[in-house]
Structure 1
Amino acid sequence: MRRRVTPAGGRRAGAAAAALVLGGAGVLLGVAAAPAQAAEVSFATHCVPPAGIEPVDGTTKVEVTAPATAKVGDTVDVVWTFVQAASKNPDIIDLPANSVQPSGIVKAAGAQAADIAMQGPRENPAIPKGAAMVLSAMKGSLKLTTPGEVTLTPDAYTVNAMSTDTKCTPTETVQKAATIEVTPGDGGTSSTSPGPSNTPSGSASSSPSPSASASASESGGSGQTDFTGKEVQVPYACKTPIGDKSATSPVQINARKNRGSYDLTVQFKKSVMDSPADIPKDSVKPSMEVVLGGADKGTVHVEGPTNANDIKSGDPIEIPDLTGTYKPGASGTSTLSPGVLTVKALGTTTTCTPQKTEVSLTLDTTQQPGGASGGTSSSGGSSTGGGTSTSGGLAATGSDDHGALKALGLVAGTAILLGGAVFTFLPGRRTR
């Protein structure tokens, strides 16, 4: 596939980009800009897969393509095409189509030094266990600032397979793969900037935090029945046989007064990623232990329904609202915070623990018989009330609690980043 791109400043494009073949996959990619050039380079590489899988030492072969000439002020496209990845798919599972995404760094040196962030789309054929990895071409961009010779050299890269990372690092000096001759510009700002789809997202900033003016709604005022909590950013830590995982998820706790108790609704505000595999209906069920603090103590169990429909590979996954009932066990000002999050999927359990307590809702409570404070039920009990855990409650969920994390079940090796926490799912064909 070939296409013509007119570089900045009105120069006529030379021969359009070189067509690059993605090793063995038969995927052709056109590269933008004036006469493009590339040379295949190979380098010894050390790859560290997820925990539980032995590191691999192999050889990476790539082509880096860029314009042969450009001028100061241009933004040029740089493409990294894998001829051979250093590691194969481990002998554990078959990787489904469109479940693998590469990212990495190309180092610019010479007249201009920079680390160019590269990323490829999550596009791949199904890869059987033990087979060679087939990785999409990665693309990045560089704005040229200085006249002279700029060299491009591939460096470290990461292979993300369904939210698990294999990190690969060169173990020898890598030869330059492309050179750009940069001429002085005319002072203008025109460039051959890539479109949004060409911008690497590996270093995207985190989601904005809630407004500083937001605060927990307190249960004041005569006759008030509905109480809206504030959205809080909850840092979850998950432990799994394929590596520790952590992510921050926005969560909000709301309440509706029901006589002396409160009907709770826990909402995950962050949209979730697309599913990398088919997930059958009624196979995924989330729950949480809401942490009580202030006047009250213990936890309140809330849970959501199972997925009502099949989730096809590539379709979005959503965390439903989690609901339960809080019966106060103390009079005074009580706080509610997101606690331990659990997802059960086809006989497996995944547990993620907040690294710190973030209060979402504050209520003025009145003690009810059999309420939460001083209760003896363990977390994860009936949804009609809460109780203290055997360690005296979950209000303190700092680093000292990490030893209590449950080992997460690895089901067919399929890990999905769901609402900021890591859960495991079974693709539906076989159990490991």
Structure 2
Amino acid sequence: MVLGGAGLALGLTAGTAQAAEVSYATHCVPPAGVADPIDGTTKVEVTAPATAKVGDTVDVVWKFTQAASKNPDIIDLPADTVLPTGTLKAAGAQTADVAMTGTRTNPAIPKGGDMVLSDMKGTLKLTTAGTVTLAPGAYTVNAYGTNTVCTPTGTVPTSATINVTAGDGGSPSGSPTPSDSTSSSASPSESASPSDSTSTSPSASPSDGTGTGQTDFTGKEVSVPYACKTPIGDKNATSPVQINASKDGGSYALTVKFNGSVMDSPADIPADSVKPSMEVVLGGADKGTVHAEGPTNSSPIKSGDPIKIPDLTGTYKPGASGSSTLSPGVLTVNALGTTTTCTPTKSLVSLTLDTTEQASGASGGSSTSGGTSGSTSTSTSGGLAETGSSSHGGLKALGLVSGTAILLGVAVFTFMPGRRRLR
């Protein structure tokens, strides 16, 4: 069911509420790796007062009678986990984008089931006499920290019309005002839709290293495209990663950071049950990989709480002198007896260092695994390490959401005690 009905709180001067259902073609883009884009039909009723006067702030309600997309056939969505947000377009005598926000209120939605979305509400301050039309625009469906963005692909019919009469302090008819008359904007943490923009940190210059006195080097954030092997099948996804280094003698302490926001846990996660690791790929003068890993979760993670990927750390002991590059490599996540392994589909350099060869370092692609007491491992090809059978135990699918990018799509945890296994 869709919550809220068509109830509407109107200003004392506003006229009787009116609404009509409209339908429009919509293109929906689910999170990366979850499902293919969907072309469907959205059906909406917009409720607004039939008459009002300049200066009134009117309430409007967007009621979904049909969402364009269904729940992907991956995971059941529990009750009260889905939040819609969107934009209502005002046109005619006054042009404005009205931010609309729903509530995280929904019945349980099975895999492949129809998306059932709460009513969205917003307000519009009327500034110009004349006829103001209202039509639905784009909307975003948020579930488990992931966003599905749905955008109209054609002309959207008018769903409601407000006849605005002149009032004290208003603009004369035919003088539209800017769209800053919109209020009730959605919370950034709830309604931010995914984008491909990423912030970047300054990269270390080629002269970084010995001779400058510098000891800390900040890498560039790179958006890494991953091909992931997960318990629910192959997934393609992107995640922003940054590699920083701190010089300690002839070696470097590495920190791999997953920047951006996090996702919510779909189930209760016991303490010490999730452990990520990565093989940082060396290039340029040096070759091989450096193993970096993070700590397990120190405390239980309750269903609905954020899942954070901690910083991964390792030690890089150079095996060659010259300009050496560091790039994110194979990412693995250990959790409760299952395995997720994500391999970059292209190499992106995050950090460049001027290095000096050290004894027993990661020398130019030779097979010297364990040359730095387990912190550094290399492969004969200088490529990505095989991590599917590491000594850290089984790996479990873990979703990473970075504001604008998602790794592994939906967070999937299998064999959770007391819960149905997700397939």
TM-score for the superposition, normalised by structure 2: 0.70
2:161 to 171, 175, 179: 179
Post-superposition offset of 1:235: 0.7
Aligned pairs (5 A) from 1:192-203: 194-195=183-184, 197=186, 201-202=191-192
Q: Name the amino acid aligned to 1:236.
A: V
CA distance in structure 2 between the partners assigned to 1:302 and 1:62 by the alignment: 50
Equivalent positions of 1:161-176 (< 5 A) are: 161-162=143-144, 175-176=157-158
Query: 5 Å matches for 1:35-46?
Result: 35=15, 37-43=17-23
Which of 199, 213, 221 aligns to 1:233? It is 221
Give the secondary-structure state (helix, strand or coil) at the position aligned to 2:333.
strand
What is the correspondence of 1:6-405 to structure 2 with a 5 Å cutoff? 23-25=1-3, 31=9, 33=11, 34-35=14-15, 37-43=17-23, 60-69=42-51, 78-86=60-68, 88-89=70-71, 92-112=74-94, 116=98, 118-129=100-111, 131-140=113-122, 147-155=129-137, 157-162=139-144, 175-183=157-165, 186=169, 194-195=183-184, 197=186, 201-202=191-192, 209=199, 218-221=208-211, 227-239=215-227, 244-249=236-241, 251-257=242-248, 260-346=250-336, 347-351=338-342, 353=344, 357-360=348-351, 362-369=353-360, 371-376=362-367, 383-388=374-379, 390=381, 392-393=382-383
Q: Indicate the larger mover: 268-277 or 292-301.
A: 268-277
Question: Which of 402, 407, 417 is residue 422 of structure 1 equivalent to?
Answer: 407
Change (3 A) 1:341 1:187: farther
Cα deviation for residue 426 of structure 1 reads 0.8
1:272/1:56 CA distance change after superposition, 3 Å: closer
In structure 1, what is the Cα distance between the partners aligned to 2:90 and 2:183? 18
Matched residue of 2:268: which SS? coil
Deviations 1:202-221 (A, max 9, x none): 46988884566986893335
Deviations 1:97-147 (A, max 9, x none): 343233444343333456655453444343344654321223456566654
The one-letter code matched in structure 1 to 2:183 is P
Deviation at 1:149, TM superposition (A): 1.2
Distance 1:175 1:231, change over 3 A: same
Partner-residue secondary structure (3-state), 1:108: strand
What is the RMSD computed on CA atoms of the aligned residues?
4.6
Give 1:311 shift.
Answer: 1.0
- The number of equivalent residue pairs is 388
State how far apart, in whole Å, the 2-side matches of 1:296 and 1:306 are. 30
Q: Is contact 2:140–2:148 with CA below 8 Å preserved after alignment? A: yes
- Unpaired runs of 5+ residues, structure 2, are 172-176, 385-394
Contact 2:3 2:105 in 1 (8 A): no
Q: CA deviation at 1:268?
A: 3.4
Contact 1:352 1:422 in 2 (8 A): no
Aligned-pair identity (%): 54
Which AA in structure 2 matches 1:322?
Answer: L
TM-score, L = length of structure 1 = 0.69
Letter in 1 for 2:378: G
How far has the Cα of 1:349 moved from its partner? Answer: 0.4
Look up the equivalent residue of 1:246 and give its one-letter code: T
The answer to which of 334-343 and 239-248 deviates more is 239-248
Shift of 1:304: 1.0
CA distance in 2: counterparts of 1:317 and 1:198, whole angstroms: 20
The 1-side partners of 2:29 and 2:202 are apart by 40
Amino acid at match of 1:312: K
Ranges in structure 1 where 5+ consecutive residues have no aligned partner: 1-22, 395-408
Give the aligned residue type for 2:360: P
| 1:249-297 deviation line (CA, Å, top 9, x unaligned) | 5x24123425x43332323343424334433333322122223233212
> Alignment partner of 1:425: what SS?
coil
Inter-partner Cα distance in structure 2 for 1:343 and 1:39: 50
Contact 1:75–1:143, Cα closer than 8 Å, also in 2: yes
Residue pair 1:216, 1:228 contacting (<8 A) in 2 also: no
Q: Retained in 1: the 8 A contact 2:365–2:380?
A: no
